[in-house]
Amino acid sequence: MPDKLWAGRFGKQAAKTTNDFNSSISVDSRMFREDIAGSLAHAAMLAKQGIISVQDNEAIARGLGEILAELESGALTFDPDAEDIHTFIEAELTGRIGDAGKRLHTGRSRNDQVATDLRLYLRGQCDELCAGLNGLIDALAQKSEEYPAAIMPGYTHLQRAQPILFSQHLLAYEEMLQRDIARIEDAARRMNVSPLGSGALAGTGFPINRAATAEMLGFDGFTKSTLDGVSDRDFCMELAAALSIVMVHLSRLSEEIILWCSWEFRFVELDDAYATGSSIMPQKKNPDLAELIRGKSGRVFGDLMGLLSMMKGLPLAYNKDMQEDKEAIFDAVDTVKLCIGAATPMIATMRLKPENMRRAAAEGFINATDCADYLVGRGLPFRDAYKAVGQLVALCIKENHTLETLPLERYKQASALFEEDIYAFVALDACVARRQRA
């Protein structure tokens, strides 16, 4: 096992339990590309500033390039005994190129190194998350186009309220997901500043060029405060908060799909490839993917709470507590990507039962507001119209009628303003069409 980066101060080896407890390579090894990219930029800057030689920089670049290629191909595997990804790569580099590898860390601390790696990694994940959400939006849009005229009951309090188009219902989720994308993009913009050059907390006495490394790594700039540069994890909490809202939206959509699949609703049927069965009840077709998405929302909320709780009492600057940031934010990112990947084909392949939707919309007097609007259009104050239609609904329930089948003389008992055209006015298609023009 290579020496620890901090081995010089200590007179004995750390206990195995200390090493195991302190190690994070099982979590942070996924950032190997970002760690190598940061090191390449740092070494190039050191050489340009005359802090290390051009020859050392060339050896470092060559060695890191080889390590990257071997990790990508699987020819090189991570050492589970390494403390973290930074230690592993530096030790591997030094073993290959000797003293030049030992000069790589000049003017740098693991504190600003890990903060840089994490920002680089999450920046890329933000792009993938937004691409996934756009794919889900496309699936919702295509499903809306597949059933452009399907009428369903809109609900408030889970009670039938007013008739709407199924496409209008899905559009609400498209709007939610568009806001999610905007939040993630906004978080990515704020995280896109480089902490490299902050050192452990107070910067470095070497004449480094922070702007140069920031530019090489595609950052918009660099952090102004070196203390904040190494101890800031706002970008993790902000992204986790945005992802928690994504999961709220995915969970709400999943809950509706679960309801719609039930025999009580029977509005949709999931494709067999995206449903499961029962081990004992042969008739069952369960919306397990939707249920799992609904359940995994709590997991992402927990990741956010873990990050908030971890950070709330930390004095400046870096503290080892912050090693817990990666496990939480990585889990949140992975879980949301997994859920988007499950929801997209599930929605793309589900089949509607428009006749059941329309039948449900025809019941429950969901055109009662339109009936009141009819009277308002003929000069009756809305509150009087509301009362008159409420009495009509009560009469319909008593006499087993709907507003479409109630005789005109019964209408006229509630208000003389009703005429034969009331039936066309309260027809479902007419109710929907009026609101589509609004």
Average pLDDT of the chain?
94
Residue 214 lies in a domain: no
Query: In this structure, what token pair is assigned to residue 23?
Result: 């190690």
Residues 16 and 140 in one domain: no
Catalytic machinery residues: 157, 278
What integer pLDDT is reported at residue 23 of this predicted model?
Answer: 80
Q: Which residue, among 392, 386, 393, 387, has the nearest Cα to 369 in the 3D structure?
A: 386
Return the pLDDT at 310. 96
Instruction: Report whether pLDDT(60) > 70.
Output: yes
161 and 259 part of one domain? yes
Q: Are residues 167 and 306 in the same domain?
A: yes
Q: Tokens in use for 293?
A: 């998405």
Quick one: 309 and 433 in the same domain?
A: no
Q: Which of 61, 82, 106 is the last residue of a domain?
A: 106
The answer to whether residue 318 is domain-embedded is yes
Q: What confidence score (pLDDT) does residue 202 get?
A: 97
Closest CA to 304 of 339, 328, 270: 328
Residue 266 has pLDDT above 50, yes or no: yes
| Residue 352 maps to a domain | yes
Q: Same structural domain for residues 255 and 346?
A: yes
The CATH number of the domain holding residue 50 is 1.10.275.10
Same domain, 60 and 124: no
Residue 143: pLDDT over 90: yes
Whether 211 is covered by a domain: the verdict is no
Q: Are residues 166 and 257 in the same domain?
A: yes
316 and 392 in a single domain? The answer is no
What is the pLDDT, as a whole number, of residue 2?
A: 55
- Does residue 20 carry a pLDDT above 80? no
The pLDDT score that the predictor gives to residue 438 is 37
- Does residue 6 carry a pLDDT above 50? no
- Residue 236: pLDDT over 90: yes
**Same domain assignment for residues 235 and 285:** yes
For range 16-22, the mean pLDDT: 67
CB distance 115 to 317 below 8 Å: no
Spatial distance between the Cα atoms of 272 and 270, rounded to a whole number of angstroms: 6
Percent of the chain having pLDDT more than 70? 95
In which domain, by residue range, is 63 found? 7-106
Mean pLDDT value of segment 176-205: 98
**pLDDT above 70: residue 436:** no
- Give the residue among 333, 322, 131 at the shortest CA–CA distance from 234: 322
Strand partners, 160: 155
Of 73, 106, 139, the residue at which a domain comes to its end is 106
Could you read off the pLDDT of 73-82 as tens digits, one per residue?
999 999 999 9
Q: Are residues 15 and 156 in the same domain?
A: no
Q: Is the domain of 117 the same as that of 137?
A: yes
pLDDT over 80 at 18, yes or no: no
Nearest to 238 by CA among 307, 327, 324, 312: 307
Q: What is the pLDDT of residues 192-233, one digit of tens each?
A: 999 999 999 999 999 999 999 999 999 999 999 999 999 999
Given 53, 80, 106, the domain boundary residue is 106
What is the tens place of the pLDDT at every residue in 96-120? 999 999 999 999 999 999 999 999 9
Distance, CA of 132 to CA of 302 (rounded, Å): 22
Distance CA 150, CA 144 (A): 9
C-alpha angle with apex 257: 255 to 259, nearest 5 degrees?
70
CA distance 39 to 150: 57
Q: Kindly report the three-state secondary structure assignment for every residue of the chain.
A: CCCCCCHHHCCCCCCHHHHHHHCCHHHHHHHHHHHHHHHHHHHHHHHHCCCCCHHHHHHHHHHHHHHHHHHHHCCCCCCCCCCCHHHHHHHHHHHHHCHHHHCCCCCCCHHHHHHHHHHHHHHHHHHHHHHHHHHHHHHHHHHHHHCCCCEEEEEECCEEEEEEEHHHHHHHHHHHHHHHHHHHHHHHHHHCCECCCCCCCCCCCCCCCHHHHHHHCCCCCECCCHHHHHHCCHHHHHHHHHHHHHHHHHHHHHHHHHHHHCCCCCCEECCHHHCECCCCCCCCCECHHHHHHHHHHHHHHHHHHHHHHHHCCCCCCCCHHHHHHHHHHHHHHHHHHHHHHHHHHHHHHCEECHHHHHHHHHCCCCCHHHHHHHHHHCCCCHHHHHHHHHHHHHHHHHHCCCCCCCCHHHHHHHCCCCCCCHHHHCCHHHHHHHHHHC
Residue 37 lies in a domain: yes
pTM: 0.91
- Quote the pLDDT of residue 12: 61
Asked if residue 271 and residue 157 are part of one domain, the reply reads: yes
Residues 309-333: what's their mean pLDDT?
95
